[in-house]
Chains A and B, each alone.
Chain A
Amino acid sequence: MNAMGWALADGWTVMRRNLTHLRHSPGEMVGVLISPVIMIVIFGYIFGSAIPVPGGGNYREFLMPGLFAMGATAAVMVTIARVAADNGKGVMDRYRSMPMARSAVPFGHTGADLVVGAVGMAIMAIAGLIVGWRVHNGLWSTLAGFGVLLLFTYAFNWLGVLLGLLVRNEETADRLTPLFFPVTMLSNTFVPTEGMPSWLRTIAEWNPVSALVAACRQLFGNPGAPVSDVWPLTHPVAATILWSLLLLAVVVPLATHRYRIAGRR
Chain B
Amino acid sequence: MVDSIVVAEGLHKRFGTTEALRSLDLRVTEGTVCGVLGPNGAGKTTAVRVLCTLLVPDQGSASIAGRDVVRDADGVRKLIGLAGQHAAVDEKLTGRENLVMFGRLYHLGERRAQARADELLERFDLTDAAGRLVRGYSGGMRRRLDLIASLITAPPVLFLDEPTTGLDPRSRNEIWSSVRELVAGGTTVVLTTQYLDEADRLADDIAVVDHGRVIASDSPERLKAVIGSRLDVVVSTVDDTPAAAAALARLTGNEPTVDGTTVSAAVHERAVSLLTAVREMDAAGVAAVDVALREPSLDEVFLALTGKPAEEEVAA
Which positions in A face B, CB cutoff 8 Å? 6, 9-10, 13-14, 16-17, 20-21, 24-25, 89-100, 104, 263-265
Contact = CB atoms under 8 A, between A and B. Distances in A.
Contact of B92 (A9, A16, A21, A99): A21
A91 B78 CA distance: 17
B92 A94 contact: no
Contact of B86 (A14, A17, A90, A104): A90
A39 B149 CA distance: 44
B82 A97 contact: yes
Interface of B: 52-56, 74, 77-78, 80, 82, 84, 86-94, 97, 101-102, 104-107, 133, 149
A9 B86 CA distance: 28
Contacts of B78: 99
Given A25-B92, A90-B89, A264-B56, A99 B77 contact: yes
Nearest to A260: B73
B88 A94 contact: yes
Nearest to B51: A97
B133 A89 contact: no
B147 to A, nearest CB: 12
A20 B55 contact: no
Nearest to B79: A99
B56 A265 contact: yes
Nearest to B77: A99
A27 B90 CA distance: 18
B109 to A, nearest CB: 10
A92 B133 CA distance: 18
Given A20-B97, A93-B82, A93-B84, A98 B106 contact: yes
A97 B89 contact: no
B84 A263 contact: no
Among all A-B residue pairs, the 6 with the closest Cβ atoms: A94-B88, A90-B88, A99-B77, A91-B90, A21-B92, A93-B88
Contacts of A6: 107
Contacts of A98: 77, 102, 105-106
Nearest to B15: A265
Contacts of A21: 92-93
Contacts of B87: 90
A89 B91 contact: yes
Given A20-B92, A97-B82, 16 more contacts: A6-B107, A9-B104, A13-B101, A14-B105, A17-B93, A24-B94, A89-B90, A91-B90, A94-B102, A95-B105, A96-B53, A97-B80, A98-B105, A263-B54, A263-B55, A264-B56
Contact of A17 (B54, B82, B101, B149): B101
9 contacts: A13-B105, A17-B90, A89-B90, A94-B149, A96-B53, A97-B88, A104-B105, A264-B54, A265-B55
Contacts of A93: 54, 82, 84, 86, 88
Contacts of B86: 90, 93
Most buried by B among A10, A25, A89: A89
Nearest to B49: A93
Contacts of B89: 90-91, 94
A222 B55 CA distance: 54
Nearest to A18: B92
Most buried by A among B52, B90, B92, B106: B92
A10 B102 CA distance: 10
Contacts of A96: 53-54
B88 A91 contact: yes
Contacts of B88: 90-94, 97
A13 B102 CA distance: 9
